[in-house]
Chains A and B, each alone.
Chain A
Amino acid sequence: MLLTRKAEFSASHVCANPAWTPAKNLEVYGNNANPNGHGHNYILEVTVEGDTDPVTGMVFDLRELKEILNREVVDPMDHRFLNREVPPFDRIVPTTENIAAEIWRRLEPEVRRPNSRLHNVRLYETADLFVDYGGPVASH
Chain B
Amino acid sequence: MEDLLQVTSRYRFAAAHRLDTPALTPEENRKLYGKCNNPFGHGHDYILDVTVDGSIDANGLVVNREAFDSLVRSSVIDKLDHKNLNVDLTEFRSEVATTENLAMLVRDYLVAAWTLPAKLVRVRISETERNTFVWEAGQ
Contact = CB atoms under 8 A, between A and B. Distances in A.
A32 B8 CA distance: 17
Contacts of A129: 7-10, 65
B139 interface: no
Interface stretch (B13-21, B54-62, B84-92): B54-62
A113 to B, nearest CB: 22
For B2, B7, B9, B10, the residue with the greatest tally of chain A CB atoms inside 10 Å of its CB is: B7
A6 to B, nearest CB: 16
Nearest to B64: A28
B6 interface: yes
A99 to B, nearest CB: 9
Interface string A117-140: 000000000011111111011110
A97 B1 contact: no
A37 to B, nearest CB: 16
Contact of B9 (A93, A98, A128, A133): A128
B65 A97 contact: no
Contacts, number: 65
B106 to A, nearest CB: 17
A44 interface: no
For B1, B3, B64, the residue with the greatest tally of chain A CB atoms inside 10 Å of its CB is: B3
A17 interface: yes
Interface in B107-125: none
Contacts of B65: 29-30, 32, 129
Given A30-B65, A136-B1, A95 B9 contact: no
B4 A93 contact: no
B107 to A, nearest CB: 19
Given A15-B60, A28-B64, A93-B59, A137 B2 contact: yes
Given A28-B59, A30-B66, A101 B5 contact: yes
Nearest to B58: A17
Given A15-B60, A29-B59, A98-B60, 7 more contacts: A97-B5, A127-B10, A129-B9, A130-B8, A131-B62, A132-B5, A139-B1
Q: Which 5 A-B pairs have the closest CB atoms?
A: A93-B60, A128-B10, A95-B60, A136-B1, A132-B6
